[in-house]
């Protein structure tokens, strides 16, 4: 985000791409106005939370009128720096890594995986989803301090050593799909996504906190 944007809660920041995606769909369908109730139904966030999220950015809508879709779309495009492409490197071209490469965030115009790394000689030198796969030994040569974000889908035992190398290459953010809890300097942001834990958590809530039918 631009330094000119106000400081907002992290929970709000995580919801902004969700709002933006829905607004793009509304714009494509020709809709001009949207209420917080309509937004709530679509993105499954309660209207009060939506109004509070939007309030951090000033008066984005009018009471009784709702929100102007074109204005909101333009606003969130600037806020999310949609016009700037963030290049991403992926590490580990296994089943999950391959899925990422084939998908390559096709619904996000501002995020693109531009290179991948693995140690499997059968994968090195190939392209997956149009993305070249390099040997992990080429990490420093290929990154050259120009890639700000990394996705890790490597074995957990290799995650920390790889992270240490990424830190020296100027990586600012890591999306970690390994079970390893990474140690990084304070200026580097890590988002841990453990699919096994998320699934176990979902099953627990289904069993113990059933939703009304």
The annotation places the binding site for NAD(+) at: 92-97
Distance CA 26, CA 24 (A): 5
Q: Quick check: helix, strand or coil at residue 67? A: strand
Distance CA 7, CA 56 (A): 8
Sheet holding 86-91, edge to edge: 127-128, 131-135, 111-118, 86-91, 149-152, 173-176, 189-192
Buried/exposed code over 125-145 (b: 16+ C-beta within 10 A; e: otherwise):
eeebeebebbbbeebeebbee
* Start-end of H helices in 5-86: 10-29, 36-43, 47-55, 69-79
Angle at 50 between CA 45 and CA 56, to 5 degrees: 145
47 to 13, 36, 42, 50: CA distances (angstroms) = 16, 5, 11, 5
Residues forming the annotated binding site? 92-97
210 to 45, 197, 203, 205: CA distances (angstroms) = 19, 19, 10, 7
């Amino acid at each position: 985000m631009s330094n000119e944007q106000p400081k907002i809660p992290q929970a709000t920041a995580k919801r902004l791409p969700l709002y933006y995606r829905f607004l793009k769909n509304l714009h494509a369908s020709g809709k001009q106005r949207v209420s917080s109730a309509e937004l709530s139904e679509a993105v499954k966030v309660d209207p009060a939370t939506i109004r509070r999220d939007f309030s951090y950015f000033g008066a984005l809508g009018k009471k009784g009128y709702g929100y102007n879709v074109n204005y909101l779309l333009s606003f969130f495009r600037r806020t999310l720096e949609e016009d700037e492409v963030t290049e991403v490197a992926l590490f580990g071209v296994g089943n999950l890594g391959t899925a990422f490469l084939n998908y390559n965030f096709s619904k996000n115009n501002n995020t693109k995986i531009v290179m991948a790394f693995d140690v499997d000689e059968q994968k090195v030198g190939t392209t997956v989803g149009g993305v070249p796969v390099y040997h992990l030994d080429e990490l420093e040569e290929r990154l050259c301090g120009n890639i700000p974000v990394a996705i890790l889908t490597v074995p957990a035992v290799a995650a920390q050593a790889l992270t240490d190398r990424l830190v020296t290459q100027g990586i600012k953010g890591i999306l970690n799909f390994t079970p390893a809890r990474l140690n990084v300097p304070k200026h580097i942001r890590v988002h841990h996504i453990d699919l096994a834990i998320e699934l176990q958590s979902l099953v627990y809530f289904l069993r113990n906190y059933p939703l009304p039918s």
